[in-house]
Amino acid sequence: MKSLGLVVEYNPFHNGHLFHLQQAKKTSNADVTVAVMSGNFLQRGEPALVSKWTRTRMALEAGVDLVVELPYAFATQRADRFAYGAITILNALKTDEVIFGSESGNIRPFNETVDFLNKNEEEYNLLIQEKVKSGVSYPSATSEAFKQLSNRPQETIDLSKPNNILGYHYVQSIRQIHSNMKANTIQRTGAGYHDEGVGVNNIASATGIRKMLFEHGSDLSAITSYVPKSTLNRLQDHFNSFGHFLNWDRFFLLLKHRLITSTPEELRDIYDCEEGLENRLKEYITQAEDFTSFMQSVKTKRYTWTRIQRLCTHILTNAKKNTMERALTEPPTYIRLLGMTETGQHYLSGIKKDLNLPLVSTLSKYKDPFFELDKQSTNTYILGFPYKAQKVLYKQEYSNTPIRLHQK
């Protein structure tokens, strides 16, 4: 069976994702689609709108065949390790081709950029270090360093665009692990990555859709045009059972409590807490009314919103340096299966005996530092809902088997 791999967050699954999924299937001519998806916390340091289980259902109902989880230790990292973790898992699942979205839809400049930077790696890294030292944020430093080095703008990609950065790291990771996986890209359509506005042709960004959901409360009709029917149904089910969608506001008191009662020394044990950030956070937290105003008071040009938001996630989940830093040099250690269609199950049966990572489908007694962190972050995420919903999510996480979607 020919297999297509996707790296996704689906927060929530929308028409832009559907377009990408369908185009990618057509382009690759694959028999099965495998998605590696972030769990309950996302790369920008946010809790997911709805649980990974609901997002898995959305994916399966829209045409993905197999959904596995990108462990927390990779899902909440900077682009390079996020991509590395995702590609390693897709590779372990014998994926033939990964297809990502990009501004241009042309894979050649990605390959050439990777070539170029691999050749000029030392100089590139030195430039980045210099810029970071002078107070520039890491993402800006990488794109500035790249611009400075590169004299061939027509053949390289713009590394200031988040999607291009991810694509670059997918291609780079494939080479790094010496995988035979092919990389390809499809032009993104509609709204920009973080654009809160509503796009043309029934496409809106996930950020825009989440904004509409929080603005309209229980009325989901505002997003009808921008998501497939399956997403709408799943969101409605979620809302009916759990009472609300999740964002940082639901965790602000917990974050505040943690920051107030932790000593600076304890905070310095948290991953991403560097250079006195613990004092900055403690200084602003007592007076902050809500998460947004807290973030606004803490962030600077150097410490971007995403950087601080990720740190807040790690403080919330108590993700320590000693575990998280392993994800900077080591690959994922297991594959957590979230859901599958019959096609996905069939595919999995075929490759099962050749898997070089343990496949975790029921939790039982599986022990692993990355996995402990997944549990810890899931247990934290669950606290964002009322007690009854907590019980459902707890059961789903620790007692149920992966979701199986029966195809019509």
CB half-sphere exposure, 352, CA atoms < 13 A: 11
CB half-sphere exposure, 188, CA atoms < 13 A: 18
Q: Which of 134, 364, 387, 401 binds a second copy (CB under 8 A)?
A: 387
| 41 carries a ligand binding annotation | no
Q: Are the CB atoms for 315 and 379 separated by under 8 Å?
A: no
Taking CB under 8 A as the rule, does residue 142 contact a second copy? Answer: no
Q: Which of 154, 261, 356, 401 binds a second copy (CB under 8 A)?
A: 261
Decide: helix, strand or coil at residue 275: coil
d(CA 322, CA 173): 23
Decide: helix, strand or coil at residue 5: strand
Q: Which amino acid is at 184?
A: N
Residue 164 corresponds to which tokens in the numbers above? Answer: 């291009």
Q: Which of 1, 177, 355, 383 binds a second copy (CB under 8 A)?
A: 383
Return the closest-CA partner of residue 113 out of 32, 183, 41: 183
Decide: helix, strand or coil at residue 101: strand
Minimum gap (Å) between residue 383 Cβ and a second copy: 6
**Helices (H) and strands (E) in the chain — how many of each?**
19, 8
For a second copy, which is the closer residue by CB, 112 or 249? 249
Considering only the stretches 88-96, 110-118, 205-213, 315-323, report the one whose residues sit in contact with a second copy under the rule CB under 8 A.
315-323
Taking CB under 8 A as the rule, does residue 214 contact a second copy? Answer: no
d(CA 374, CA 317): 9
> Torsion angle of alpha carbons 99, 104, 106, 111, nearest 10°?
-90
Q: Which of 241, 333, 361, 376 binds a second copy (CB under 8 A)?
A: 376
**Footprint of a second copy on 264-283 (CB under 8 A):** 266
Q: Where are the beta strands (DSSP E) in 114-232?
A: 182-187
Taking CB under 8 A as the rule, does residue 349 contact a second copy? Answer: no
Q: Which of 38, 54, 207, 380 binds a second copy (CB under 8 A)?
A: 380
| 370 carries a ligand binding annotation | no
Taking CB under 8 A as the rule, does residue 392 contact a second copy? Answer: no
Residue 267 corresponds to which tokens in the numbers above? Answer: 């905070």
Considering only the stretches 181-189, 237-245, 257-265, 325-333, report the one whose residues sit in contact with a second copy under the rule CB under 8 A.
257-265
For a second copy, which is the closer residue by CB, 207 or 380? 380
Decide: helix, strand or coil at residue 366: coil
Taking CB under 8 A as the rule, does residue 40 contact a second copy? Answer: no
d(CA 3, CA 57): 20
Taking CB under 8 A as the rule, does residue 262 contact a second copy? Answer: yes
Taking CB under 8 A as the rule, does residue 221 contact a second copy? Answer: no
- Our measurement of the distance from residue 381's CA atom to the centroid of its chain's CA atoms, rounded to an integer in Å, reads 15
Return the closest-CA partner of residue 30 out of 347, 301, 355: 347
Q: Which of 253, 292, 342, 404 binds a second copy (CB under 8 A)?
A: 253
Q: Are the CB atoms for 255 and 315 separated by under 8 Å?
A: yes
Per rule CB under 8 A, count of chain residues that contact a second copy:
24
Taking CB under 8 A as the rule, does residue 1 contact a second copy? Answer: no
The residues that bridge with 187 in the sheet, in sequence order, are 102
Taking CB under 8 A as the rule, does residue 399 contact a second copy? Answer: no
Q: Which of 182, 244, 256, 326 binds a second copy (CB under 8 A)?
A: 256
Taking CB under 8 A as the rule, does residue 189 contact a second copy? Answer: no
CB atoms within 10 A of CB 54: 24
Taking CB under 8 A as the rule, does residue 289 contact a second copy? Answer: yes
**Footprint of a second copy on 108-127 (CB under 8 A):** none
Minimum gap (Å) between residue 277 Cβ and a second copy: 19
d(CA 403, CA 56): 8
Taking CB under 8 A as the rule, does residue 396 contact a second copy? Answer: no
For a second copy, which is the closer residue by CB, 216 or 388? 388
**Footprint of a second copy on 317-346 (CB under 8 A):** 317-318
For a second copy, which is the closer residue by CB, 140 or 318? 318
Q: Are the CB atoms for 90 and 170 separated by under 8 Å?
A: no
Taking CB under 8 A as the rule, does residue 292 contact a second copy? Answer: no
Residues annotated as binding site for ATP? Answer: 7-20, 101, 163, 188
Residues annotated as binding site? Answer: 7-20, 101, 163, 188
Which residues lie near a second copy (CB under 8 A)? 253-254, 256-258, 260-263, 266, 286-287, 289-290, 316-318, 376, 379-380, 383, 387, 391, 394
